[in-house]
């Protein structure tokens, strides 16, 4: 089986480093992985955190498109709960008009931050917001101008209309999200780096397959933490945690955090019942041989068409080396290779 290999970067801010320096490294990384032949380069959305500089992927994408030539550039992802589907469609139509065929719109359901940033982002929202999956459907329809004559938005278009609409992806880690993506005919990215339980991966993969309309070109993609080094010990040194903490609120909302410190910070600021669930993070780390073997198993068992690598290494040269070794690992094998 042939599988594409892509990159997700969160623009980490290292100790004694500025946000400007972190974003400059993201740009440099995009240029370098393009040379290596990676398929996509995505940037994330996080709010009110000094350790991650990527708060506005739609702005960063435009700059990355200008600084690269061929690699697909996109969001991993835009946190749609905060925004108007119409405005998101306009932004990505502009980007797609500037670089037809190179723009990806990855959409996420999570808030990308804690309650304070969410309140600030949604301060003008009406009390009864449109449910997330309804917003996602409206967004996909604006991107393709698919409204019937008797519908409220029939005369509303997201101009400019590009010659090639941006590819749309839903990011998630649940069966529900996989089903919603399939029924909309859009690709689904399983966040294995957040939910590394293979039972969950298998259930989402089967749900996506069963609900995908016949003839759809949408694909099932795996996003994992991947760290490759010359030795297993060196690779393991770059893994800060193998657990993700999911905070489930009584209101139905949820937040994923990576440390107990972040859990404690979050629960201090909420005034509703909550439950904390500990999840295994989906991590593939080790030498080229080890990583290749683990990727081959996942790709073949779960019929994966693409793997997106998140490599959370602060040191730029070590991160770039990991992506270089990953490219070598998949290129040296007959059933896994970049395309």
Number of domains in the chain: 2
| 338 domain residue, yes or no | no
Candidates 286, 292, 267, 210; CA nearest to 5 is 292
Whose structure tokens read 């949408």? 218
Question: What is the CB-side half-sphere exposure of residue 181 using CA atoms within 13 A?
Answer: 32
263 shares a domain with 153: no
In the prediction, which pLDDT does 125 show? Answer: 67
Structure tokens at 112: 């990308």
In the prediction, which pLDDT does 275 show? Answer: 85
pLDDT digits (tens, 9 = 90+) for 287-305: 999 999 999 999 999 999 9
Domain that holds residue 319: 4-241+282-331
| 96 domain residue, yes or no | yes
Low-confidence ranges of the chain (pLDDT < 50): 1, 334, 338-339
Please give the Cα distance from 168 to 218 (Å, whole number). Answer: 9
In the prediction, which pLDDT does 21 show? Answer: 97
Residue 305 contacts by C-beta under 8 Å, 6 or more apart in sequence? 3, 4, 219, 220, 221
In the prediction, which pLDDT does 287 show? Answer: 98
99 shares a domain with 20: yes
176 shares a domain with 63: yes
- Burial classification of residue 98, based on how many CB atoms lie within 10 Å of its CB (0-12 exposed, 13-18 middle, 19 or more buried): middle
306 shares a domain with 270: no
289 shares a domain with 178: yes
pTM: 0.90
315 shares a domain with 252: no
269 shares a domain with 179: no
101 shares a domain with 222: yes
152 shares a domain with 138: yes
pLDDT digits (tens, 9 = 90+) for 63-92: 999 999 999 999 999 999 989 999 999 999
In the prediction, which pLDDT does 128 show? Answer: 66
Q: Are 274 and 248 in contact (CB under 8 A)?
A: yes
142 shares a domain with 290: yes
| 336 domain residue, yes or no | no
Candidates 220, 161, 151, 150; CA nearest to 185 is 220
């Amino acid at each position: 089986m042939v599988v594409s290999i892509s990159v997700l970067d969160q623009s980490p801010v290292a100790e004694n480093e500025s946000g400007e320096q972190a974003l400059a490294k993201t740009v440099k990384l995009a240029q370098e992985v393009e040379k290596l032949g990676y398929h996509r380069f995505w940037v994330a959305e996080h709010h009110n955190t000094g350790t991650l500089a990527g708060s506005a992927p739609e702005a960063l994408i435009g700059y990355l498109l200008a600084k690269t030539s061929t690699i697909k550039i996109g969001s991993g992802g835009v946190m749609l709960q905060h925004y108007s589907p119409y405005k998101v469609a306009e932004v990505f139509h502009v980007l797609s008009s500037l670089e037809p065929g190179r723009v990806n719109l990855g959409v996420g359901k999570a808030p990308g931050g804690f309650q304070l940033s969410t309140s600030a982002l949604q301060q003008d929202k009406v009390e009864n917001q449109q449910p997330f999956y309804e917003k996602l459907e409206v967004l996909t329809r604006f991107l393709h101008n698919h409204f019937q004559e008797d519908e409220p938005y029939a005369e509303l278009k997201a101009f400019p209309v590009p010659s090639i609409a941006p590819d749309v992806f839903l990011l998630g880690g649940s069966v529900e999200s996989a089903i919603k993506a399939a029924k909309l005919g859009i690709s689904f990215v399983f966040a294995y780096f957040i939910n590394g339980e293979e039972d969950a991966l298998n259930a989402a993969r089967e749900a996506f397959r069963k609900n995908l309309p016949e003839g759809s070109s949408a694909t099932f993609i795996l996003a994992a933490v991947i760290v490759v080094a010359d030795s297993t010990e060196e690779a393991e040194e770059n893994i800060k945690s193998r657990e993700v903490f999911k905070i489930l609120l009584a209101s139905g909302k949820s937040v994923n955090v990576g440390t107990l410190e972040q859990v404690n910070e979050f629960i201090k600021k909420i005034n509703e019942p909550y439950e904390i669930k500990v999840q295994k993070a989906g991590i593939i780390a080790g030498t080229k041989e080890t990583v290749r073997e683990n990727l081959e198993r996942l790709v073949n068992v779960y019929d994966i068409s693409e793997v997106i690598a998140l490599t959370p290494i602060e040191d730029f040269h070590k991160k770039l080396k990991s992506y270089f070794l990953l490219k070598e690992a998949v290129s040296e094998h007959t059933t896994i290779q970049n395309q």
